[in-house]
Amino acid sequence: MRFDIFCHVVDNYGDVGVCWRLVKRLAQTHFTSSDHFTSPDKDHFRLFCDYPELVEKVAGDDGLREILSLGVELLPWNSADQSITEDIYPDIVIETFSCELPAVYSGKLKSFSKALIINLEYLSAETWTISAHGLPSPPSQSDDLLRYFYYPGFTPESGGLLQGKLPSTDENNTFIPRSLDQIWRKLRPSSEAKRVSIFTYGGEKLTQLLNQMLRSNQPLDLLVCGENALKTCQVWLEEEFSEPVSRNFLQLIPMPFIPQDDFDWLLHACDLNFVRGEDSFVRAQWAGKPFVWDIYPQEDDAHHIKLDAFLGMYLQNALPSGKKAAYAAMHWEEFADWWQALHPMTQHAVMWRQELMKSQIKGDLAIRLRDFILEKLKKG
């Protein structure tokens, strides 16, 4: 089958982060949940992106080479119009996050093929997404092509979560990704200082957190990732921040941008992760470590509803001590008040990962998406 996947970068790294992970998983996944073999040699993937350099950055050189060798092409968005002919056209088109297909491409799609169009939506734990999952959209006026809405989610009825092989960071495993080798040498022994990754949108919330951490006298190695958090830390430190800087018991370490696979490893290797957006939010859950979600701010404060829906699910079966602390952490309350409960929060994170594994009994998002595609193609 020929897949065309469209990625429009709105801001930050998340659009690319999700699309690259999706392509990666689809190219690596040769079975559906019913063990239906999908002949990988015959699958071909084209990822059209309006910022291909960002895909290269997120993938990293080795990751890019590996995935391109599986029959994936990375193409600029504006080459899409010329990419369809009477002989070469896709069977499946995936629009991510409602990005609009290029007009000429859409027109050709209508004339040459009966491609199945799927709109991969944002992840949310809100219950309405379950009822909307899999529904066809009425053809829009602009191109009247039929498309199906595909909603990722945390339950077996949803579209699932992207998973893939999870990194191993157990104590007997001495593997450290190359991109992190130098940084790892700068960390204090794990018995002396806890490791905390900070990949947030920065700003006032982070400044307050740093003040609270400083007051708590807890030895922490803070691995600061992404421009927004780095900028806030720089202002807070009131000095250049290209090398690790210490304040009381804190050590702040500026992180370079690292390939996505290595970033996944980092989340598994830390004791606590501050994450954001969608993709790092999901990876923090697969890491089985406590985390704080800096949710992407939406208009009309819609993100509050999204956060409540997630916490309702995440904390439903939590024991009281872990629950109270995780709730406080997720609401950025005083650090000292919830940090003491890191152990029960960790136990809860491990239990939640097991629950998620069970919810993926029909496979992860890539496998379920293949199921969905086969079902729709069968029905014609």
Give the footprint of ligand TRH on this chain (CB under 6 A): 10-15, 17, 58, 199, 225-226, 257-260, 263, 276-281, 296
CB-wise, 279 or 371, nearer to ligand TRH? 279
Nearer to ligand TRH, 52 or 277 (CB): 277
- What tokens does 66 get? 């590996």
Compute the distance between CA of residue 342 and CA of residue 324 in angstroms, rounded to an integer: 11
At 368, list the tokens: 């379920």
**Which residue type sits at 261?**
D
Q: Cα 273–275–281 angle (5° rounding)?
A: 105
CB of 345: closest distance to ligand TRH in angstroms?
20
Tokens 């900028």, residue? 231
Q: Which of residues 263 and 335 has its CB atom nearest to ligand TRH in the complex?
A: 263
Report the C-alpha gap between 380 and 183 in whole angstroms.
Answer: 53
We find the least distance from the C-beta atom of residue 15 to ligand TRH, in angstroms, to be: 5
Q: C-beta of 153: minimal distance to ligand TRH in Å?
A: 15
Cα–Cα nearest to 194, from 229, 217, 222, 224: 222
Minimum Å distance from CB 178 to ligand TRH? 14
Active-site residue set:
15, 278
- Identify the CA nearest to 194 among candidates 352, 322, 342, 348: 342
Q: How far is CA 123 from CA 51, 150, 162, 219, in A?
A: 22, 10, 11, 35
Q: How far is the CB of 310 from ligand TRH (least distance, A)?
A: 13
How large is the angle between the packed helices 204-215 and 227-237, nearest 10 degrees?
50
Q: Which residues contact 11 (CB under 8 A, 6 or more apart)?
A: none
C-alpha pair distances (Å), 370 with each of 27, 94, 99, 125, 265: 11, 12, 21, 22, 27
Bridge partners of residue 118, in order along the sequence = 94, 148
- For residues 84 and 258, which CB has a smaller minimum distance to ligand TRH in the complex? 258
For residue 285, the minimal CB distance to ligand TRH (Å) is 12
